[in-house]
Structures are given as C-alpha cells and as structure tokens.
Amino acid sequence: MKKIQRFFIWVLGLFLIILSLGGFANGDNLVATLCFVAGLLILPPVFKRLFHKKQNQTNTTSSTKTISKETLNEKISFDDVFKISTENTGKNEMTTTLGFENETKLLPYLEQNERENQDAIKNFNYIPQQVIAQAIQTCESIYIMYSTKNFDTLKGRSEFVKIKLNYLNLASHHKRYIADVQTALDQYKIMYYDRIPTEVQITSLIKPNEFDFPEFYCQCLIQSFEKFYEEQNKQISFLKREDAIKNRRENIMDTIREFQLNIPIEAISFSEVNHQLETIYQKVYEDTFGFPL
C-alpha cells in the first residue's frame, strides 16, 4: 500500500513541476513558482529531507542559504537546471523526456525568477496609451493565430503574442489596468466592426498571468494544419502527374513533422494533438508509397 501511495505522490509532484514550465516560458513566474514549489515539496526525497527530522530540516535550511548566497550573483538559466531531450522511437514516433541537469540549482533558480519578477513589476513604467496599444495588438495577433493556415505566420505571431502577454502581465498589477483594457476592447470593436472579441481574446487581456498560452498555441497548431491539409488535398485532386502528386504528399509529411516539433510539451493536449498529426502522417505515407508505415 505504501509503495502505491509513494508512486502516486511521485506522479503528482512531477506533474506539477512539468505543468509549471509553461508558466516560466510565458513569464507567468508567480503561478509557475507556486506549482514548482508545491510539486517539489511533495516529492518523497524532498519531503523526507525537509520534514522527517528537525535536524535534517535545519541542515537543509542552512544548505539552501549557502547555495543561495553562492548563486546570488550567478545568472541561472533553465538549461542549468533542466534538460529536455527528444528522440525518435519506432514507427517515426517522437518521445520527449524532461529531467534534471542540476537539481541543487532548482531552489536558487525559483528564487531568482521570483526576484526578477518582483523587480520587473516594481520598475514597470505604466503608460496608459501604450498599454491600450499593446492590448489591441494582442487581440489582433490572437485572431491571426486562430485563423491562419500558414505555419510561418502562426509561429511568428506566437512569439509576438508571448512578448505582449509578458508586457500585459506586468501592466496588470496597476490599479487602472482593467479600465484601459476595456478601452482597448472598445477600440478593437470599432476598428474591426465585423469581429466580436472572443473569450480567448478577452481572457488574455483581463488575466494575462492566468492565460494558458501553450494550450491555446497547441489548438492553433492543429487548426492551422487542418486548414493547410484541406487546401493541399483540394489541389492534389486536380493534379494529373503521379510525380507531382507524390511531391505534394511528401511536402505534407514534412509539414506534419515541422508542426509536431513545435507542439508545446507543457500543453494539456500535447499527446492528443501529436497523435492526431501522427495518424494523418501515416495515412499520407500509405497513400504515397502504397504500403503502411
């Protein structure tokens, strides 16, 4: 029974740590830090070391302080703490693994991120007109991400939106932020009278720190590919030469692999979307070469 409980505790702890990676990637350091700390503390080795004995707790505290002092002036990067490896397994499937590069730097890394986040909030220069402009640009780019069938456009806009969300996250701590967001939404509706702001757009502005951007990007990826795939199939139906059809299908397969490499690992639907793309890949492969992968 204890082994089963220990197993589920490990699963829960690692899940919280992995879930918080999306927060760090998008600048949502406060929520991400809470998830990281919660996941870390319930891991059996950490819990035992911190709480099993008073002596261990004292030793851990002093050790943490020593590490923190040593690394206070040292910039710790994500790659210093974690390692993410991706490899191809059988049948052209990809496996992504998350592990520690140096687990002794985890707590200093979290402390560093929290310090940087608090400093950024404290030093943020709030300019109402700039906040309104950034909010409108965020709405525009989210609309493009959700509607485009071009992968390069989607990828470029995703990087742009991440920058905007980080800015809005800092601005959201100001007392007049909500009023300026409402102004931005009103102006957006005037500029694009045929577009009603979606729940996704509104949420990204009202609560940028809680907006699940990795999951949104994941859904945009599959939607964009489906539009691309539908267009390619229509064009293939008009082709007469076998070599032209083969080249077009091979291009589809290459595009699928590119999409798969860009699925955010921290997205809730990572496995589902990856499976959808893999299923289409195998179908196109069989249609192209006449036998299954």
Are the C-beta atoms of residues 255 and 228 closer than 8 Å to each other? yes
At residue 55, the pLDDT reads: 46
Q: How many Cβ atoms are within 10 Å of 77's Cβ, its own excluded?
A: 11
- Least trusted range by pLDDT, from 51-60, 100-109, 200-209: 51-60
Report the C-alpha gap between 165 and 242 in whole angstroms. Answer: 47
At residue 182, the pLDDT reads: 98
What is the per-residue pLDDT across 138-174, written as a single tens digit (0 to 9) for each? 999 999 999 999 999 999 999 999 999 999 999 999 9
At residue 53, the pLDDT reads: 45
Report the C-alpha gap between 100 and 103 in whole angstroms. Answer: 6
| Mean pLDDT value of segment 161-189 | 97
Are the C-beta atoms of residues 231 and 40 closer than 8 Å to each other? no
φ, ψ for residue 98 (rounded to 5)?
-110, 135
The structure tokens 């949502």 sit at: 28
- Ramachandran class of 195: left when φ > 0, alpha when ψ lies in -120 to 50, beta otherwise: beta
Report the C-alpha gap between 255 and 29 in whole angstroms. Answer: 33
The alpha carbon of residue 222 and the mean position of all alpha carbons in its chain are separated, in whole angstroms, by 15
**Per-residue pLDDT band at 235 (split at 50, 70, 90):** very high
**Per-residue pLDDT band at 67 (split at 50, 70, 90):** very low
- Please say if the pLDDT value at position 68 is more than 50: no
| Mean pLDDT value of segment 13-33 | 63
Helix (H) or strand (E) holding 98: strand 94-100
Report the C-alpha gap between 145 and 165 in whole angstroms. Answer: 14
What is the per-residue pLDDT across 117-141, written as a single tens digit (0 to 9) for each? 788 888 899 999 999 999 999 999 9
Strands 82-88, 94-100: pairing kind: antiparallel
Average pLDDT, the chain: 83
One-letter amino acid identity for 177? Answer: Y
Answer whether 0.85 is exceeded by the pTM. no
- Please say if the pLDDT value at position 40 is more than 70: no
User: Which of 162, 141, 200 shows the shortest CA–CA distance to 24?
Assistant: 162
**Per-residue pLDDT band at 98 (split at 50, 70, 90):** low
DSSP 84: E
At residue 79, the pLDDT reads: 82
| Mean pLDDT value of segment 18-45 | 63
Any idea of the CA torsion for 217, 31, 15, 158, to the nearest 10 degrees?
A: 10
The structure tokens 């693994």 sit at: 97
> Which tokens sit at 117?
């986040």
Q: Is 94 helix (H, G, I), strand (E, B) or coil?
A: strand
At residue 70, the pLDDT reads: 47
| Mean pLDDT value of segment 216-228 | 96
Tell me the HSE value of 93 on the side-chain side, using a 13 A CA sphere. 10
